């Protein structure tokens, strides 16, 4: 197994500070020493550690001429899910396409770094959160693809020229055959997803090496994240790890085939220089886009308010109709009851009138009879015609 010191690519930092995006990734079978190459140990430091030490050394050397800001992110691709190793509580992250920055991981945490100790502490935190499981080939096998990215913003103090670059260091999960590692169903699923993403990576490398117009970056989450590192404006170093054993002959052969194809990829590099004028122009364009979007949102909001008003009016009209439908039967019923009561009152009035009439006639009969009796007994001086009239009335 090669030591990290021998593999350390010293010109990476120089290219980074000149304004070029840079990437380093390791590829090989499980147990070939990829993670050791990237991370190392206390006695043999890995590429990540050596690169960051060299970066801070260069930053200290040019602090009189440059203002430099650093930010880092650390994520893993496990079973085709993207996880933030610096924020493990967060759910799976989603990839977004951005016209300016390419593929962007939505919701990814970017930590601003002020010193080397803080950086190494976050690097250790991310490594502790990385998914690892023992396999038949390796007792501490990394079961995910890890992507450690450093964002560097540099501004020349004299010219105000600004450079924004990105350094990506990728520790790929081990390629393997299912028969060589069949611990259980979960490990088999992990291996299948690892091989699927590495196959997608191989297809992208083949397409780039052959100069194809279409490169299938979207076949996996890994290749989408590595799009800039493979075919974009980026200086990329691929390290092929092979195990020094005859048992790994086939894996070593496949790894070297991978590396041979990757050597044929050619990239056209341009410096990521952003002048103050360009910087302001981008902000102006962004502001104009925001204004346009705000205007569209206002128009959409007005339309929604009109729709809400129309819906309210329709609801009120429907309620009125429903209430009217409910009230009309009640009114009809009340009117019917009123007519019935009125008829009963009229009938009662007629009956009462008839009773009064009968009582009055009876009373008058009694009075006339008494009067006639008195006339007959006392032989009152009364006109004969009046007496005859009274008798007829009493009858």
- How far is residue 317's CA from residue 173's CA, in Å, rounded to a whole number? 66
Residue 150 is predicted with a pLDDT of 92
Return the closest-CA partner of residue 47 out of 171, 225, 132, 201: 171
Q: How many CA atoms lie within 13 A of 313 on its CB side?
A: 6
CA 387 to chain centre: 117
Phi/psi of residue 341, each to 5°?
A: -65, -40
* pLDDT recorded at residue 287: 66
Give the annotated binding-site residues: 28-35
CATH for 4-274 (3.30.930.10, 3.40.109.10, 3.40.50.720, 3.40.850.10): 3.40.850.10
Give the Cα separation of 12 and 387 in Å (integer). 153
Identify which of 70, 65, 58 has the alpha carbon closest to the alpha carbon of residue 159. 65
What is the model's pLDDT at position 179? 47
Sequence ranges of the binding site for ATP: 28-35
β-pairing, 111-113 vs 66-78, is: antiparallel
pLDDT tens for 366-383 read: 766 776 676 666 554 545
- DSSP for 322-377, please give it: HHHHHHHHHHHHHHHHHHHHHHHHHHHHHHHHHHHHHHHHHHHHHHHHHHHHHHHH
- Tell me the percentage of the chain whose pLDDT exceeds 70: 74
Question: Worst-scoring range by mean pLDDT, 1-5, 60-64, 87-91?
Answer: 1-5
Which residues pair with residue 24 across a beta bridge? 169, 237
SS (H, E, C) 278-327: HHHHHHHHHHHHHHHHHHHHHHHHHHHHHHHHHHHHHHHHHHHHHHHHHH
Compute the mean pLDDT over every residue in the chain, rounded to the nearest whole number: 78
End-to-end C-alpha distance for the chain, whole angstroms: 149
Measured distance CA(12)–CA(237) in Å, rounded: 9
pLDDT, position 151: 92
At a CB cut-off of 8 Å and minimum separation 6, what does 73 contact? 84, 86, 105, 108, 109, 110, 111, 148, 149, 151
pLDDT of residue 84: 92
Residue 312 and residue 327: Cα distance in Å, rounded?
22
* pLDDT above 70 (res 58): yes
Q: 361 or 161, which is more confident? A: 161
Between 294 and 241, whose confidence is greater?
Answer: 241
Mean pLDDT of the 318-338 span = 69
- How many whole angstroms separate alpha carbon 105 and alpha carbon 224? 10
Residue range 230-265, pLDDT digits in tens: 877 788 888 899 888 888 888 889 889 888 888 888
Domain residue ranges in the chain: 4-274
Given this model, what pLDDT does residue 139 score? Answer: 45
Which of 205 and 187 is assigned the larger pLDDT? 205
Q: What is the pLDDT of residues 101-155, one digit of tens each?
A: 778 888 888 898 887 778 888 888 888 888 765 454 544 556 789 999 999 999 9
**d(Cα 381, Cα 252) in Å, to the nearest integer?**
163
Cα dist from 92 to 76, 89, 104, 219, whole Å = 10, 9, 14, 18
pLDDT confidence bin for 1, thresholds 50/70/90: very low
Lowest mean pLDDT among 53-62, 63-72, 97-106: 97-106
- Higher local confidence (pLDDT), 88 or 71: 71
Q: How many CB atoms lie within 10 A of CB 104?
A: 14
d(CA 166, CA 289): 26
Residue labelled with tokens 């880092």 = 72
pLDDT of 4 > 50? The answer is: no
């Amino acid at each position: 197994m090669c030591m990290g010191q021998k593999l350390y690519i010293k010109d990476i930092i120089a290219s980074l500070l000149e304004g070029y995006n840079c990437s380093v990734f390791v590829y090989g079978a499980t147990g070939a020493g990829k993670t050791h190459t990237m991370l190392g140990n206390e006695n043999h430091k890995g590429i990540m550690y050596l690169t960051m030490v060299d970066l801070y050394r260069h930053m200290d050397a040019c602090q009189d001429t440059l203002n430099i800001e650093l930010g880092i992110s650390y994520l893993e691709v496990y079973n085709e899910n993207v996880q933030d190793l610096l924020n493990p509580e967060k759910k799976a992250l989603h990839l977004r396409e951005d016209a300016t920055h390419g593929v962007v991981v939505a919701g990814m945490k970017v930590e601003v770094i002020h010193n080397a100790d803080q950086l190494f502490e976050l690097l250790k935190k991310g490594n502790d959160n990385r998914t690892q499981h023992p396999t038949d080939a390796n007792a501490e096998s990394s079961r995910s693809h890890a992507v450690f990215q450093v964002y560097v913003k540099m501004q020349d103090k004299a010219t105000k020229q600004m450079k924004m670059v990105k350094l990506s260091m990728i520790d790929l999960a081990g390629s393997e055959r299912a028969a060589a590692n069949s611990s259980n169903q979960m490990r088999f699923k992990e291996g299948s997803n690892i091989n699927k993403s590495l196959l997608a990576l191989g297809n992208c490398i083949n397409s780039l090496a052959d100069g194809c117009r279409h490169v299938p970056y979207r076949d996996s989450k890994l290749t989408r994240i590595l799009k800039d590192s493979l075919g974009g404006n980026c200086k990329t170093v691929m390290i092929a790890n092979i195990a020094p054993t005859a048992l790994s002959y086939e894996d070593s052969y496949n790894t070297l085939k991978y590396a041979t194809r990757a050597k044929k990829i050619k990239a056209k590099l341009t410096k990521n220089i952003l002048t103050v004028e360009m910087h302001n122009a981008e902000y102006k364009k962004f502001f104009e886009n925001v204004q346009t979007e705000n205007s569209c949102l206002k128009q959409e909001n007005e339309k929604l308010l009109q729709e809400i008003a129309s819906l309210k009016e329709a609801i009120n009209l429907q309620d009125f109709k429903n209430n009217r439908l409910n009230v009309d039967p009640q009114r009809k019923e009340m009117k019917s009851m009123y007519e019935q009561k009125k008829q009963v009152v009229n009938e009662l009035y007629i009956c009462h009138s008839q009773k009064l009439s009968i009582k009055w006639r009876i009373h008058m009969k009694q009075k006339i009879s008494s009067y006639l009796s008195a006339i007959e007994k006392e032989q009152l001086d009364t006109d004969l015609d009046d007496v005859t009239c009274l008798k007829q009335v009493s009858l």
